[in-house]
Structure 1
Amino acid sequence: MNAGPSDVTLRRATAPDAAAAADVWLRSFAAALPSVVRPRSDDEVRDYFRDVVVPFRESWVAETAGPGDREIVGVMVLDGDLLSQLYIAPDRRGQGIGDRFVALAKERSPQGLYLWTFQVNEPAHRFYERHGFVAVEYTDGRGNEEQEPDVRYAWRP
């Protein structure tokens, strides 16, 4: 749907994408948030993507478009006006995939978006602020599974 300047296409996720999307999530989370303790095992994350995220959320993947070997290198999940997940494979960061996902999220939710990110994830803060999101709430983490202080960002057109 959304070919860009690189070898990556954004498209809606389908059931066969769930395992690869979960693996991107797992690798990206581990690389970006090494100090955050995950309350779910890798298998539980994969099950969640298979049973909930892909079938019941507006899930998108970034897929390399090379001949033969296609690979999922990013995942974005929308739940109404909540940008609930945006993860890029660590070796594909800085290539504009996240920018394209945010543009797509704004297209899909033109009235506005919000998201949560952990306070320790300063690169994410810079990324979202660059895309016009504003921090509107800081918490001590009691409201998330990880029990990690977080921040809610909002974007309004």
Structure 2
Amino acid sequence: MNTDDLALRRAEASDATAVADVWLRSFGAALPTVRRAHGDDAVRSWFAHVVVPHHETWVAVAEPGVVGLLVLDGGDEEGGEDGGHLEQLYLDPSWRGRGLGDRFMDLAKRQRPRGLDLWTFQVNAPAQRFYERHGFVAVEWTDGLRNEEREPDVRYAWRPR
């Protein structure tokens, strides 16, 4: 299936389990050396009770279901001077490299035209290349002591010209 044929829509409560399952598969495939701070059931509960109901969560849907997710926080509708935060961008491993991430990034920039910040792990070189290709600049590196995984990370920022 071509990514142009995928529906991108706001997540609904009924999507929470599928969204969590995409996150779990993607995290495991992309970050095999990173220790997850929470087990599968806790991740599913977090998506069902926190992420989907309280954050701007978008899904990409194809047969047989959800194949990608984008979670935004903060931003223009809340009067944020610097835009918002790209909290999550995960694709089912079988959908990587097919343009779906680009579609989500375009959506994120439309939703937060004043700019975006995000964090990614330093070991995730493919994500760093992806964000840099989309105009993000690394602005801060940490030792990981402020994240639950205790994994060194890097903060990226995108500001429109």
TM-score, normalised on structure 1? 0.93
Q: Which amino acid aligns with 2:72?
A: L
Q: Give unmatched runs, 5+ long, in structure 2.
A: 75-83
Aligned length in residues: 150
Distance 2:100 2:151 in 1: 26
Distance 2:37 2:101 in 1: 25
Secondary structure of the 1:106 match is helix
Q: Give unmatched runs, 5+ long, in structure 1.
A: none
- Identify the residue that residue 47 of structure 2 maps to in structure 1: 49
State yes or no: 1:103 paired with 2:103.
no
Which of 117, 138, 141 is the matching residue for 2:141? Answer: 138
Q: Which amino acid aligns with 2:45?
A: D
Q: Which amino acid aligns with 1:17?
A: D
**Cα RMSD over matched residues?**
1.0
State yes or no: 1:77 paired with 2:71.
yes
Which of 17, 22, 25 is the matching residue for 2:15? Answer: 17
- Identify the residue that residue 24 of structure 2 maps to in structure 1: 26
Per-residue Cα deviation, 1:61-112 (whole angstroms, up to 9, x for no partner): 0001xxxx44100011001100000000001111111100010000000000
Distance 1:5 1:101 in 2: 11
Secondary structure of the 1:151 match is strand
Q: Which amino acid aligns with 2:56?
A: E
TM-score, normalised on structure 2? 0.91
What fraction of aligned residue pairs are identical, expressed as a percent?
A: 65
- Identify the residue that residue 77 of structure 2 maps to in structure 1: none
Moved over 2 A (4+): 4-7
In the TM superposition, what are the counterparts of 1:81-92 in structure 2 within 5 Å? 81-92=84-95
